[in-house]
Amino acid sequence: MWRWEPDTGAIEGRFDSQAEAEEWLTEHYPELQDNGVREVTLFEGDRVVYGPMSLDPA
C-alpha cells in the first residue's frame, strides 16, 4: 500500500500503486498547497520511497 504523508502529519489517501499515488498528487497538489502543506513524503508501507518533496513553486 502506497501513501503520501504531508508535513502537516495527516495521511493523504492510500493507493494500490506508486503510479496511482503520483497521479493523485499531480491532481491535488494545488489544493494541498492552499491547505498549508509545503512538502510530502511517499511511503510504500513503512518504507520511504522518496521525500520529503517540496510543493513550493520553484
Is 17 a residue whose pLDDT tops 90?
Answer: yes
Q: Mean pLDDT throughout 5-32?
A: 92
Query: How much is the CA Rg of the chain, to the nearest whole Å?
Result: 10
Please, what's the largest Cα pairwise distance for the chain? 30
The CA-CA-CA angle for residues 26, 32, 36, to 5°, reads 150
Please determine, for residue 2, whether its predicted confidence score (pLDDT) is greater than 80.
yes
Rounded Cα gap, residues 15 and 34, in angstroms: 22
13 φ, ψ (degrees, to nearest 5): 70, 170
Q: What is the pLDDT of residue 11?
A: 78
